[in-house]
Amino acid sequence: MAPPGSIPWPSLWRLLVVAMMVDWLVTRTFTRLAIYMPKTSAMIEGFWWLNWGGQAGSAVAAVAALACLTGVALAEWRGRRNPWLSGIAVGLGVPGVLFGLWAPGPWLLFFHGLTLAFLLGLGVRIMRLRGPWGTHLALITPGLAMGAATLYQAIPALYVVLQWSGPPPWSLHLFYAGEALVVAGAGALWWVYGRSSDFRLWCLAALPVLLATFVYLAAPAMTATVIIWSHGVTLFLPWWLYGAALWLWGVTLLCLWKQGAEAQCCALLLLMASGYAPQLSSQLVGGLLSLWLFEHSVWAGSWNPRADTREHAYTRHAIWI
């Protein structure tokens, strides 16, 4: 019998993380960056195969996200924490299948409504978790960013259903507020999960930041366009804030990996790979799954930021069946 708080199908979650990273780094980043690169005939063929591999990764990510969403529904129903959240998870999976067969149309508003309901349910549970206030802040900030982006995307669908002219100009402020929360969320997660990082981890995490800084300073317009395609942020804030956020993301990830917190590593990678205001339902579901995995792992007691190394070794796999 599975232990309380366990998560079904851990191998499927690992597959989802790998596929989402391929979708992010290959499909939405590197192949888009290749548009600006001069290419020989051999390079064009190589990029064609790379793009094919990225599309395959995106397809696997969509199927794995749907399967993991089913696992969330089972875990919620079996745990009897919030059975209604299980129904919302099922409801989020059904439109993802139907939208592959028919154009969303007015039903897109229904999907956004379910997304907001899922975020609201998780937000209430996060605020009820036992622990320091920093844990609540670290988990609620990404949820607020997802909520702002979902509202921004839902408003045009609402105006279409009601046949109003719009959307209103103030809706853009929702998008910018969510983007600011994305940057702030990196600091909040680092404060809870990454403060114990040593100097070597800081130096290692600085490598992609230095590369991104060099590319941005060399071609700011091209870099901003690729970042919008890759992650969804518009760089309306000073660029160095995004660099600092990327640095903190990296430090937090390396710290979790060093401590053996596999569930939190998966959650953080899913959160990074899903992007901000994603255009595909699989990417949106990936972000929701990351937030659920963070909340569920704290609730299940799989990792305590203040515990020692021996306790990490005992509890780090507690939520995997």
Helix, strand, coil shares, percent, the chain, to 5: 75, 0, 20
pLDDT band at 3 (very low <50, low <70, confident <90, very high): very low
Which of 155-159, 180-184, 230-234 bottoms out in mean pLDDT, i.e. has the lowest?
155-159
pLDDT band at 118 (very low <50, low <70, confident <90, very high): very high
What is the rounded CA–CA span in Å between residue 231 and residue 58? 15
Check residues 317 and 192 and name the one with the higher pLDDT: 192
pLDDT at 46 over 80: yes
pLDDT at 1 over 50: no
Element (H, E) at 139: helix 133-162
* CA-to-CA separations, 286 to 65, 99, 148, 155, in angstroms, rounded: 6, 17, 17, 22
Percent of the chain with pLDDT over 70: 87
Arithmetic mean of pLDDT, 152-168: 87
The partner residues of 320 in beta bridges, in order of sequence, read 7
Place of tokens 């959307």: 167
pLDDT at 303 over 50: no
Token reading at 27 = 């499909």
Domain limits, the chain: 10-315
pLDDT tens digits along 176-223: 999 999 999 999 999 999 998 999 999 999 999 999 999 999 999 999
The amino acid that residue 99 corresponds to is: F
Q: Quick one: three-class SS letters along 192-214?
A: HHCCCCCHHHHHHHHHHHHHHHH
pLDDT at 79 over 80: no
Nearest-CA neighbor of 273 among 25, 50, 34?
25
| pLDDT attached to residue 160 | 84
| pLDDT attached to residue 110 | 86
pLDDT tens digits along 18-27: 999 999 999 9
| pLDDT attached to residue 41 | 85
| pLDDT attached to residue 104 | 67
Arithmetic mean of pLDDT, 12-18: 94
pLDDT at 9 over 60: yes
How confident is the prediction for the chain on average, in pLDDT? 86
Q: Does residue 274 contact residue 283 with C-beta atoms inside 8 Å?
A: yes
End-to-end CA distance of the chain: 9
pLDDT at 308 over 60: no
pLDDT at 315 over 50: no
Arithmetic mean of pLDDT, 258-280: 92
Place of tokens 């796999």: 317
Kindly report whether the global pTM for this prediction surpasses the value 0.75: yes
What is the rounded CA–CA span in Å between residue 274 and residue 172? 21
